[in-house]
Structure 1
Amino acid sequence: MSTATTAPAVKARLANAGSRLRWPHYLMLGAALLVLLSLVRVLTGADDVTSSGTVSAALRLAVPIFLAGLGGLWAERAGIINIGLEGMMILGTWTGAWAGYQWGPWAGVVAGIIGGALGGLLHAVATVSFGVDHIVSGVAINILGLGLTQFLAGLIFNTGAAKALGGGPRQSPPVEPIGTLTAPVLSGGEIFGWKSPDALGALEQRHWFVLSDVAGILRGLTTGMSLLTLLALLLIPLSFFVLWRTAFGLRVRSCGEDPYAAESLGVKVYRMKYAAVVISGALSGLGGAFLVTVASPVYQDGQTGGRGFIGLAAMIFGNWRPGGMATGSLLFGYTDAMNVRGGGESVHALLLFVTVILVAVAVWQMVRGNRLRPQIATDLDRRQVRNAFVGAALAVVAAAGLLVWFLLSDSVPGELVSFTPHLTTLLVLALASQRLRMPASNGQRYRRGEAR
């Protein structure tokens, strides 16, 4: 390849590297969004937008999504598409409830992890050893997980001692919930019979601009947090450290980028893929166990509610990285919490919030297009400029439509409120699609010793 051919590519890579966002940029962006959200709350009077109850509910609803997404990240970083996250999570709910009502919630957590890991092992056998199409195997596991748990629920929970304790053909006996933590002084609670003050709660009730919103968010994160929630949140930095800072993680990621090159360097590709997919299933099973020990201490049919698929969307939104995936999960959990707690009025207030964001997106796209226009040299450059201006125009049209809707209505219909989390999933994936890059060999069939 000539120097003339490689120079534009190198220049483009350097330009992209220079425009890549760093942690200070993310902190500034988060602060700006918080100020905007506080302004919307003050203008509309929708205090549930940043209340501690909404934040606590959002975290509780986001954890199973993020655990499923983290499971998908582990598998796809090793080159295995895991559509079966939903089925593995379903297995985790049943095994978690089965062990939980008999031996306690922590036994249920361990059993849920094992149940999900078994689903991951089955997916690994099908895709890694036998070369089955990843999508076909994942769909089969979803069907198998649903059918098997329904059969076992009717067989075990509807007979004998389980039925006497409240079990039935579609649900388990109640599971003792896992204990919670509340920060004393900051968020109230009791210490040896002494009722602690609630400093953040008092500040939240003042409804001051920004300060009360920060207090509400912090109080939601420090009031009644389950121990399992805390452990789940620790998996974010742990997964990042293992995948990006250890030799094991490097081998796993090399199998997802180029397994044949990894094989030539002595990496046991089959072993790495098996390990990653089993870990993927275990994390999804942990998400299922969370549902029966924290979210709702009982197993029920349909309990996962598609969270495995939303977790997959969160993983794609996060560009196959733990931090971005956790952000996407919190976004989906927040919209779901607004549906549960705030109802139509709070979602109506978010219309104004989204309108301002769309205007900002339009301005950014126009600035980006004007910046790229003097550098047009190829058809790809022309396409990027055209896409930037088209994106700006679409954002302006959408913002105008949402603003008119906000001004001409007082609330959002209940049917649309219930659909908000799913609509958010579609919008986020559509907006984030241009910056995504999956592992290069994701979903491809690998056979040891074969030529590429």
Structure 2
Amino acid sequence: MSTAVDSNPSSEPVMMPAPQQKRAMPGWARGMLWAVVAIGVLSTTSYLTGMNTLTSSNTAQTALRLALPILLAGLGGLWAERSGVINIGLEGMMILGTWGAAWGAYYGGVWVGLLAAIAFGALGGLLHAVATVTFNVNHIVSGVAINLLGLGVAKYLATLVFEPLSGNPRQSPPVPKFETYSATGLSDWLGGLEDAQRVVLSDVAGLVRGLITQVSPLAMIAILLVPLSYVVLWRTRFGLRLRSCGENPVAAESLGINVYGYKYSALAISGGLAGMGGASLVLLPGGADYLENQTNGRGYIGLAAMIFGNWRPGGLLGGAALFGYSDGLQLAGGGQAVLALCYAAVLLLGVIVVIQLIRRKWIAAALGVVGAGILYFIYWSNDELPRDLIPYTPHFVTIIVLAVAAQRLRPPKAIGARYRRGEGD
């Protein structure tokens, strides 16, 4: 409350109500709103272009499978970077996870394979911790070294273990896969609604059906890890202390926090999650057994999804869904479906331009108009994209998304900073 006093000294002070600040929309509400917008854009594009693949259950099912390694790698990056350590080595930790998953599953079954993948990934994370936390090696240099080391170690172990079994040093023998489960009654009902080809309803039915049909336990665990990571990092004492190490490690140490211990813990968890991401490439139905270079840059895409999500679990989930969807679409629908995705991007940019105009951000609105014009020209001037470019759709999406998201990023303040115990004394 503020007090306004009249110029007459004998007058009584008048109490004026303080202006009320507008409450920001919760992050989960914004995420739900953008999800509704995305579904509306895809439904409209499917209707206008006649490309039903955009919202088919097959596309959604494939997208979920392909989004899992990106989601798990991004969660690994989130844990590491919230503690102040840049983890470029996610790719190498995923590679170690792929080998560990195949080795463990071949000898002990899928659950042993998953545990082995987590263990091998965690070893990579701890090695990164030794280099960056104990010896203060540059985080980028250490991460690149982990990627090279992971590739080399996996290749050596595959030659040592798998070549006598399969005759091929670059591939494992067949390994067991996770069982899948479906909500049969609901899935059948949604399938009938999808086949009816009703505008919006059939599109929503196709997307939802793909997410509840042939779902593996690993997929359920990965999705549950998103809210669990939020609760642990933002709602527990352990998470608060870990994040304080990424914001101001000197101040954290002055409060009695073991900064080294929290950074080591974060990197072990980070590596374990990345190893789980590698396991999802080997142990999920529809995926291949262990293959050399199987990750194909997904560790880097996971890092991009984390940055897109602004170092928050909910935003990371959205980024992983975007990259997984673009990858699944090019597998399910080919060049024409990817071209239709350009049309959907034009519509989405139109929504964003309107929002920027309402906010009076003229430059951002102008850039959105230019981007929409370029994408519409690509859509209008081509019947189908070149086949050689289609497999790189997720990588193009990564570059575009990072360019757009760079304007609103807020990383941890001490991320990548070197720290030595006792600096606060």
Which whole-Å deviations, capped at 9, do the CAs of 1:51-73 have from their partners, x for residues lacking one? 00000000000000010000000
Q: Which amino acid aligns with 2:359?
A: R
Shift of 1:234: 0.8
Alpha-carbon shift at residue 45 of structure 1 (Å): 1.0
- After TM superposition, the structure 1 = structure 2 runs for residues 68-79 of structure 1, keeping only pairs within 5 Å, are 68-79=73-84
1:40-439 superposed matches below 5 A = 40-159=45-164, 162-163=165-166, 167-187=167-187, 198-294=188-284, 296-369=287-360, 388-439=361-412
- Cα offsets for 1:362-418 (capped at 9, x unmatched): 23333323xxxxxxxxxxxxxxxxxx4333222212212222332333222222322
Q: Residue deviations 1:267-326, cap 9 Å, x none? A: 111110100000000000111111111152410001001000000000000000111011
**Unaligned 5+ residue runs, structure 1?**
1-13, 188-197, 370-387
Report the Cα offset of residue 361 of structure 1: 2.3
Partner of 1:10: none
Q: Provide Cα deviations, 1:316-357, integer angstroms capped at 9, x if missing partner.
A: 000001110111011000000111111111112122211122
CA contact (8 A) 2:253 2:424 kept: no
For 1:22 and 1:308, how far apart are their aligned partners in 2? 25
> 1:296 and 1:22, CA in 2 relative to 1: closer, same or farther beyond 3 A?
closer
SS at match of 2:389: helix
Cα distance in 2, alignment partners of residues 108 and 25 from structure 1 = 37
Give deviations 1:33-55, integer Å, cap 9, x for gaps. 21221111111111110100000
In the alignment, the residues of structure 1 paired with residue 279 and residue 27 of structure 2 have an alpha-carbon distance, to the nearest angstrom, of: 35
Give distance in 2, aligned partners of 1:128 and 1:277.
Answer: 10
2:205 alignment partner AA: A
Q: Contact 2:245 / 2:252 at 8 angstroms: preserved in 1?
A: yes
One-letter code of the match for 2:248? D
CA deviation after TM superposition for structure 1 residue 18, in Å: 4.6
Q: Which one of the candidate residues 403, 411, 417 is aligned to 1:444?
A: 417
Q: Aligned-pair distance for 1:264?
A: 1.1
- C-alpha contact (below 8 Å) 2:81/2:415 kept by paired residues: yes
Q: Which amino acid aligns with 1:351?
A: C
**CA gap 1:283/1:23 in 2 versus in 1, 3 angstroms:** closer
**Aligned counterparts of 1:253 and 1:318: Cα–Cα separation in 2:** 16
TM-score by length of 2: 0.92
CA distance in 1, matches of 2:34, 2:149: 43
Would you say the 8 A contact 2:254–2:424 is kept in 1?
A: no
**CA separation in 1, counterparts of 2:89 and 2:293?**
15
Partner of 1:193: none
Instruction: Supply the AA of the counterpart residue of 1:34.
Output: I
Aligned length: 405
Cα separation, 1, equivalents of 2:120 and 2:266: 16
| Aligned equivalents of 2:135, 2:283: Cα separation in 1 | 36
Identify which range, 324-333 or 34-43, moves more after superposition: 34-43
Post-superposition offset of 1:156: 1.4
Q: Structure 1 residues 30 and 219 mapped into 2: Cα distance closer, same or farther (>3 Å)?
A: same
The one-letter code of the counterpart of 1:181 is Y
1:27 alignment counterpart: 32
Query: In structure 2, the residue corresponding to 1:225 is in which secondary structure?
Result: coil
- Counting aligned pairs with the same residue, the percent is 55
Do the aligned partners of 1:65 and 1:287 also contact (CA within 8 Å) in 2? Answer: yes
RMSD: 1.6
Q: Displacement of 1:110 after TM fit?
A: 0.4
Could you list the per-position Cα deviations for residues 240-273 of structure 1 after superposition, in whole angstroms to 9, with x for gaps in the alignment?
Answer: 1111111111110010001111111111111101
Q: Check the 8 A contact 2:72/2:222 in 1, yes or no.
A: yes
> 2:273 is matched by which residue type in structure 1?
L
What CA distance in whole angstroms lies between the structure 1 residues aligned with 2:356 and 2:43? 25
Aligned partner of residue 439 in structure 1, secondary structure: coil
Unaligned segments of structure 2, at least 5 residues: 1-19
Give the 4+ runs in structure 1 shifted more than 3 A: 17-26
CA distance in 1, matches of 2:401, 2:23: 24
Q: Distance in 2 between matches of 1:107 and 1:27?
A: 36
